[in-house]
Amino acid sequence: MVPELGQFALSLALLIAAAQGILPLAGAARGNAAWMRVARPAAQGQFVFVAFAFACLSYAFVTNDFSVQYVASNSNSELPLKYRIAAVWGGHEGSLLLWVLILCSWMVAVTVFSRRLPEDMVARVLGVMGLVSVGFLAFMLFTSNPFERLLPAPLDGRDLNPLLQDPGMVFHPPMLYMGYVGFSVAYAFAISALISGKLDAAWARWSRPWTTVAWLFLTLGIALGSWWAYYELGWGGWWFWDPVENASFMPWLAGAALLHSQAVTEKRGSFRGWTLLLAIATFSLSLLGTFLVRSGVLTSVHAFASDPTRGLFILIFLGIIIGGSMLLYALRAPSAFGDSAGDGDGAPFAASSRETLLLANNLLLATACAMVLLGTLYPLLADALDLGKISVGPPYFALMFVLLMAPLALLLPLGPVTRWQREQPSRPLAMLLPWAGLALGAGIAAFFLAPQGQWKVAAGVMGAVWIAAGTLRFAWTRLSPSRAGKRFTAEMLGMTLAHAGVAVFIVGALLTEGLSLQRELAVTVGERVELGGYSFRFDGVQHSVGPNYDADRGTVTVFDGDRQLTVMHPEKRTYASGGQVMTEAAIIGGITRDLYVALGEPLGDGAWALRVHIKPFVRWIWAGALLMMMGGFVTAADKRFRVPKPVRAAHRENPVPVPESAR
């Protein structure tokens, strides 16, 4: 009964979404205020029904209703409760439902936080989001129904993949989807601006906080995923350039470019066409990421082709979103921008200016994004065209990414201290020269102090010191007592935090890559492994029993010299439902290094294969991401983005009178 109610709620939500996608847009086009007013209640109503459907599916999981096919294939009666709830988004159908639920949450947020925007803008934004929602709800109801019954019902479910039975599964997908879906707001603002033909700085200002919040959630989601892979997969790696990771990284890169280009558009009026295209591209990449990961196309192109309706639907949906947006852009942009293709109406700027630096930022980030896209999609394309089975090795991504990000790191501290429009190049250079010297010195010192991986360590230290010192130098120009007249806004503080996060991330990434130590060997009870000044004594393996698994639980005592440091317990788990084996690494974290021990296979006679890693500064990777995320929060909270109460002048500009009753 409950699953049927859920499906019914989804069907109603689809109807509401259709109304929300049609009436407000038509109303805004014809100046019909009553139709425009449909947008807010429709968005809120849709949220209620989708949330109800989500609750129904969660209920089916919690009560172990294995007559629902999706529950049967993703859960098991022995699964602990928290993972039964996380299993709601453990597969394709439930992920889509989570996606739509988050989309509806963003729509409700738009209805709440945009009370002071022109009514036609809000109507258009919610209308466009409604259309996106129609696509997803229809996809779910017609090809991937999470409420499909399985009769006769099996006695027990097939269980959630043990890899996913982890707290990471509880938080990582929702955060990632908050980011993906959040870009739909920036997209909707861009499309609304195109429809209305008013491509001035206003839409960029209104959508900036939304983009920032979406981007910070995506940052958090990716960082959580990386952290999860680090401790769960048992290889001690933190980024693998795996297609699934790339799928989330592409919108992140495009989103980072969008943040910066929106700032230029909002403050200077330049890059207007480019910002619109980036907003469209970022959301398109989010959609691509969702489908790539969840449709099974990555496991095999043919899994995708084996269910042609799904594949066809996805291709058509992506085609409409991308093609439709581009068509709209092609129709609107020339007349809105005048003859000078694109950015002619913005304030002109000299070759030496902050605009130029941000242009370089955008070009580098966009190129990096295109590079990842090529490496991710080419194998799929080759497979689909039967050109052979190919994979693109991580060295390609790593090399290209470092080549593209090195100039970005070099230019980063210059951006904030350079003036808009026109700047004497010698001024910011003179300002930062001492700090460049400091960075160079630190890099050279690191080169001679590093026991191995000298180039990586030197580059990491140099880049981090340069960015951190340059960013603090900027903060000092604003905070020093002699510059009392200059403000240090929340926006600037956010940028400072995010840029400092980049510095911290560089330390983590390059020092971990350069200095990591690893040993893998067969050990018997009592044997010691020496690594990086630490001594690991293997004290044997005991049998232990978990809620839905049996485990071999190793004991490893760690010594720092003669002093006993700690005891670690790496595990090898065998899950009851599928017999699948999982390695659970034991990790002792620290600010300057992590100790990481994973159990290999039993080799007979009480001997085991043991893998020991020492990962210096690895936590700085995620600390850097957290700083970037906090920077996003602080920026989005800036008062400047809160739209002031509309004054009469705003009414006059606005072709449609704002009905007071709609507030």
Partner 1 sequence: MKPRHKRLAAIVAGLAALGVAAALVLNAFQSNLVFFFTPSQVAANEAPHGRTFRIGGMVVEGSLKRPGDGLTVQFVVTDTAVNIPVAFRGTLPDLFREGKGVVAQGQLGPDGVFRASEVLAKHDENYMPPEAADAIKRAHATSEKAAQTLVMPDGGKR
Q: Which residues bind partner 1 (CB under 8 A)?
A: 161, 234, 296, 299-300, 302-303, 305-306, 367, 371, 374-375, 378, 386, 388-396, 399-400, 403, 520-522, 578-583, 598, 600-601, 603, 607, 609, 611
Phi, psi (deg, nearest 5) at residue 464: -65, -45
Query: Considering beta carbons, is residue 157 or 179 the nearer one to partner 1?
Result: 157
The helix/strand/coil state of 91 is coil
Provide long-range contacts, Cβ within 8 A and 24+ apart, for 335-341.
335/197, 336/197, 336/198, 336/199, 337/199, 337/272, 337/273, 341/273
Distance from C-alpha of 16 to C-alpha of 435, rounded to nearest angstrom: 58
Q: Which residues contact 419 (CB under 8 A, 6 or more apart)?
A: 353, 354
The CB-of-397 to partner 1 minimum distance in angstroms stands at 8
Min dist. Cβ of residue 257 to partner 1 (A): 16
- With respect to partner 1, which residue has the nearer C-beta, 74 or 471? 74
Q: Minimal distance in Å, beta carbon 282 to partner 1?
A: 21
Q: What burial letters (b/e) apply to 4-32, b meaning 16+ CB within 10 Å?
A: eebbebbebbbebbbbbbbbbbebbbeeb
Residue with tokens 């991401």: 625
Least separation, in Å, of the C-beta of 389 and partner 1? 4
Q: Nearer Cβ to partner 1, position 94 or 296? A: 296
Buried b (16+ CB within 10 A) or exposed e, 602-618: eeeeeebebbbbbbbbb
Report the nearest approach of partner 1 to the CB of residue 391 (Å).
5
Contact 130, 20 (CB under 8 A): yes
CB of 221 to partner 1, least distance (A): 21
* CB closer to partner 1, 91 vs 127: 91
Could you report how far apart the first and last alpha carbons of the chain are, in Å? Answer: 39
Instruction: Output phi, psi for 538, to 5 deg.
Output: -85, 120
Nearer to partner 1, 15 or 522 (CB): 522
**Whole-angstrom distance, CA of residue 543 vs CA of residue 560:** 28
Based on CB atoms, which residue is closest to partner 1, 305 or 316?
Answer: 305
Q: For 117, which DSSP code?
A: S
Q: Which is nearer to partner 1, 236 or 416 (CB)?
A: 236
Q: Which is nearer to partner 1, 423 or 571 (CB)?
A: 571
User: Phi, psi (5° rounding) for residue 588?
Assistant: -110, 115
- The nearer residue to partner 1, 303 or 650, going by C-beta atoms, is 303
CB of 455 to partner 1, least distance (A): 18
CB-facing half-sphere around the CA of 621: CA atoms within 13 A:
23
Q: What φ, ψ does residue 527 adopt, rounded to 5°?
A: -75, 150
Burial 520-555 (b: 16+ CB within 10 A, else e): eeebeeeeebeebebbbbbeebeeeebebbebbbbb
> Closest distance between partner 1 and the C-beta of residue 187, in Å?
28
- CB nearer partner 1, residue 442 or residue 609: 609
**Identity of residue 623:** A
Please state the closest distance from residue 79 (CB atom) to partner 1, in A: 15
Task: Output 403 or 429, the one with its CB closest to partner 1.
Answer: 403
Shortest spacing between CB 576 and partner 1, in angstroms: 12
Q: Rank residues 48 and 377 by Cβ distance to partner 1 and give the closer one.
A: 377
The DSSP code for 580 is -
Closest approach, Cβ 556 to partner 1, in A, equals 15
- Is 120 or 232 the residue whose CB approaches partner 1 more closely? 232
Rounded Cα gap, residues 528 and 612, in angstroms: 11
Q: Considering the complex, what minimum distance in angstroms separates the CB of residue 506 from partner 1?
A: 21
Q: Residue 114 in contact with residue 206, Cβ under 8 Å?
A: yes
Angle at Cα 165 formed by Cα 10 and Cα 609, nearest 5°?
155
**Min CB(399)–partner 1 separation in Å:** 5
| Rounded least distance, CB 565 to partner 1, Å | 24
Q: Smaller CB distance to partner 1: residue 66 or 217? A: 66
Shortest CB 301 distance to partner 1, Å? 8
Peptide bond into 152 cis (omega under 30): yes
In the complex with partner 1, the residue whose CB is nearer, 39 or 392, is 392
Q: How far is the CB of 366 from partner 1 (least distance, A)?
A: 12
Phi, psi dihedrals of residue 554, rounded to the nearest 5°: -85, 155
Evaluate the CA torsion angle 460, 461, 465, 466 in order and state its sign: negative
Q: What distance in Å separates the CA atoms of residue 471 and residue 485, rounded to the nearest whole number?
A: 20
Specify the amino acid at residue 178.
M
Asked whether the CA dihedral 221, 227, 232, 233 is positive or negative, the reply is positive
Which residue number, 89 or 187, has a Cβ lying nearer to partner 1? 89
Which residues make Cβ contacts (< 8 Å) with residue 318, sequence separation at least 6?
284, 287, 288, 291
Report the relative pairing of strands 571-575 and 586-588 from DSSP bridges.
unpaired
